Amino acid sequence: MEQHLYEEQFNEIYDFRECTSVKKTLVIASTPRSGSHFLGHALHQTNHFGFPLEYANPTNLARWEEVLNVKGVKNVLNTLKTKRTSSNGVFSIKAHFSHLQQFGGLREFAQLLGNPYFVMLTRRDILSQAISLSIARQTGVWISGQQAMSENIKYDEKDICFCLKRTILHNASWKYLLASTGVRYIEITFEEARAKLPHTVCAIADFMDIDLPLETATLSPVTKKQSNSINEEFKEKFLQSKQSEMLLDVDLALGLKSKKKQLKELLFS
């Protein structure tokens, strides 16, 4: 479905005043509803990580082309580097696995960014993530601050199954690529980031060899929690359904017996 954009991302107030060349790039390698908005805004608070946003998301890309008066994802990113790189030379971007397709793969993506450090962000509770994704697909609200396209939320067991399989497959695909290409990466869960936010931000800084100000020790979340009683209701209903028993079949859960078209949909939709 169509969705309202997260308009705040295009505001010039988030541009850094100094035009600084990129020395390091942080990539938050994530999946939808993994908590990347929460982590990205926390990193932005420090003024040492640029502003991690989904610049390569096709939905955002068309608007960025208009705002920056350039065409193509590579030109958009190169222009954004001149605006969203913090004074210490760090540019950041959030990327889902499906975004890599438009670059031709991870290697090409990494080469475009220059000196990348990857943080793979996952959720331990993948079922809750899948339910959150299913709800977002209905409302069009992916992050706090977006206007809902629909308030009519329905329990959709089939879609939750799709979202669960897709999330598992994209997590595995990210990990395979990060491990097999030899890029620098660490793994962080949303749950540990939420419980120990200053510690998590400092861990990322240590990984990238970035000096942070002392105020980071008192860092607090700036985004709002989106899940509510509906999420828990859908989760309980799903766990009680017979459909959930099908996920015990690993081949079925990962879509290995499905047609190529179905597998492509899981990977890139």
Q: What pLDDT sits at residue 147?
A: 58
Q: Are strands 24-30 and 90-96 parallel, antiparallel or unpaired?
A: parallel
* 37 located within any domain: yes
Q: What angle do CA 102, 64, 77 make, to 5 degrees?
A: 55
* 3 located within any domain: no
| More confident: 5 or 93 | 93
Global pTM value:
0.85
* 104 located within any domain: yes
CATH assignment at residue 100: 3.40.50.300
Token pair listed for 228: 């509510």
The stretch 76-95 carries a mean pLDDT of 96
Question: What is the number of structural domains in the chain?
Answer: 1
* 144 located within any domain: yes
Q: What pLDDT sits at residue 1?
A: 45
Q: What angle do CA 86, 90, 94 make, to 5 degrees?
A: 105
* 149 located within any domain: yes
Q: What pLDDT sits at residue 140?
A: 73
Range of the domain at 227: 21-268
CA 97 to chain CA centroid, Å, is 9
Distances (CA, A) of 143 to 51, 60, 76, 208: 15, 13, 22, 27
